């Protein structure tokens, strides 16, 4: 046979074998009796002809069961059964651990900043807590109640510390008073209650003191004659009117001169007599009067100056009204970026973040990184006390890689997961999503190198969330 036919037949046999192998698992299983019965010997295939006759049946020996005939029936493949209708397992949302101490901060209506701090023990046993209040940069205390002490917290920041013994189900109130500041300047003082050793926060709160608003002075608009566009427009109109008057005066003067010349010429020719008709003299050719060139150029210059001045004044006002601090919201970002300072609640698409304090250790005290390599020579760990609130109606996950601390020069580091887990007593705060409406106060640890502390914290709930940015003092 031709080579092409042999190839086609071989391909057909191969495909047919594949179909048989695919259909074998779908064949019905044999009955137990059939599986236990001996399999008859395989018959040798014989060529099939029209005159062939079936072989005679062989009688079975006495006392033995007849073998069960194995007949391969071509059946439709049974479709696989559908998986059970069970929802895939999901991670249970993390719930905040029960708080033993709660903190509330309020401001007082006074000419100088004053804060009232209430620390409450909601547990059934007495405990000792350390309360720290971060003061705004550049501020100083004038009065501290409750036995607190003012100590420098690094840089220009100052903090007030109390060590309180709280009986069960009791509330203790302390307060601070700051020196008067410039009018209109808001002052935010976050406060946190820690364990007796000051390593783990119980709860945090914040309050912003705002001076009483002074009566706003009545702002009156400038009179029209003092506005630049009006002045420019009036000057342009005045110049145009002056140019038009000069042109009209010159035209009338030219007409009078022409008329005087014609009358003088007619008197000289009048002595020729009136017997013969006077020949018709061609009339003077009158040229169309046009404004002088200097007038047109001056008017154009005035109009151009007015248009340029008005456009520049309008553009300056529009550029001055642009908010340079506003973050872009177009593209793939969800929500708009928010900037703030320490102790100010900042809300993004899913979470509300509040950074209460930031402390850094001495250089060279950082442990080994998560990758297992050697610790940096000048590395140190900076711990940020952060409050996170889920403001959505559903549980929301968040990730350690998206929480960043920015260093001078634009460098940034993500959260040190192992150090953060250690600071939270072995609990992985990123393992489970946050339940709807819950709030947690927890430490986030960043391992940085160098002597400069982080200048900014960037916190966000998701990859496409615009997030919040907190400026460090």
Residue 133 has pLDDT above 50, yes or no: yes
Question: Each residue of 97-111: pLDDT tens digit?
Answer: 678 999 999 998 888
- The length of the chain in residues reads 473
* Widest pairwise Cα distance in the chain: 178
Question: Average pLDDT of 72-92?
Answer: 47
pLDDT of residue 6: 61
Exposed / middle / buried, residue 121 (Cβ in 10 Å: 0-12, 13-18, 19+): buried
* Whether 185 contacts 156, CB under 8 Å: no
Closest CA to 465 of 399, 417, 408: 399
Q: What percent of the chain has pLDDT over 70?
A: 66
Strands laid side by side in the 170-178 sheet: 101-107, 114-121, 170-178, 141-144
**Residue 336's pLDDT band (boundaries 50, 70, 90)?**
confident
Question: Each residue of 222-253: pLDDT tens digit?
Answer: 676 667 777 777 777 888 888 888 888 877 77
Q: What is the pTM of this model?
A: 0.57
Rounded Cα–Cα distance for residues 350 and 344 (Å): 17
**Residue 1's pLDDT band (boundaries 50, 70, 90)?**
very low
Residue 328 has pLDDT above 70, yes or no: no
pLDDT of residue 96: 58
* Of 286 and 348, the one with more pLDDT: 348
Question: Average pLDDT of 386-407?
Answer: 93
**Torsional class of 423: left (φ above 0), alpha (ψ -120 to 50), beta (otherwise):** alpha
pLDDT of residue 391: 93
């Amino acid at each position: 046979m031709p080579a092409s036919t042999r190839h086609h037949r071989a391909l057909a046999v191969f495909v047919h074998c594949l179909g048989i192998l695919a259909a074998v698992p779908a064949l019905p299983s044999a009955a137990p009796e059939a599986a236990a019965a001996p399999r008859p010997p395989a018959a040798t295939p014989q060529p099939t002809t029209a005159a062939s006759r079936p072989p005679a049946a062989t009688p079975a020996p006495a006392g033995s069961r007849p073998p069960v005939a194995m007949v391969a029936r071509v059946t439709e493949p049974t479709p696989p059964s559908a998986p059970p209708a069970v929802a895939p397992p999901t991670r249970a949302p993390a719930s905040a651990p029960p708080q033993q101490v709660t903190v509330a901060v309020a401001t007082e209506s006074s000419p100088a900043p004053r804060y009232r701090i209430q620390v409450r023990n909601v547990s059934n046993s007495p405990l000792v807590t350390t309360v720290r209040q971060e003061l705004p940069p550049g501020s100083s205390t004038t009065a501290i109640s409750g036995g607190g002490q003012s100590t420098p917290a690094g840089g220009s920041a100052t903090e007030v510390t109390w060590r309180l013994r709280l009986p069960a189900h009791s509330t203790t109130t302390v307060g601070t008073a700051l020196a008067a500041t410039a009018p209109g300047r808001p002052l935010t003082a976050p406060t946190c209650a820690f364990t007796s050793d000051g390593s783990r926060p119980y709860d945090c709160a914040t309050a912003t003191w705002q001076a009483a608003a002074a009566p706003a002075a009545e702002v009156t608009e400038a009179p029209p004659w003092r506005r630049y566009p009006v002045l420019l427009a009036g000057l342009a109109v005045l110049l145009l009117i002056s140019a038009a008057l000069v042109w009209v005066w010159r035209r009338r003067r030219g007409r009078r001169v022409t008329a005087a010349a014609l009358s003088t010429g007619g008197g000289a020719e009048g002595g020729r007599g009136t017997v013969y008709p006077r020949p018709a003299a061609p009339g003077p050719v009158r040229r169309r009067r046009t404004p002088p060139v200097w007038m047109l150029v001056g008017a154009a210059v005035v109009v151009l100056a007015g248009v340029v001045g008005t456009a520049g004044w309008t553009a300056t006002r529009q550029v001055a009204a642009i908010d340079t601090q506003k973050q872009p919201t177009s593209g793939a970002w969800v929500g708009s970026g928010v900037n703030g300072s320490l102790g100010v609640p900042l809300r993004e698409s899913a979470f509300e973040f509040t950074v209460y304090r930031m402390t850094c250790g001495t250089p060279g005290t950082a442990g080994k990184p998560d990758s297992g390599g050697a610790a940096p020579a000048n590395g140190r760990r900076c711990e940020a006390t952060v409050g996170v609130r889920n403001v959505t109606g559903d549980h929301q996950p968040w990730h350690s890689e998206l929480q960043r601390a920015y260093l001078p020069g634009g460098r940034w580091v993500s959260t040190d997961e192992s150090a953060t887990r250690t600071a939270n007593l072995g609990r992985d705060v990123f393992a489970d999503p946050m339940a709807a409406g819950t709030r947690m106060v927890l430490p986030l640890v960043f391992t940085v190198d160098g002597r400069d502390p982080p200048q900014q914290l960037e916190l966000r709930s998701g990859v496409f969330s615009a997030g919040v940015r907190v400026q460090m003092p």
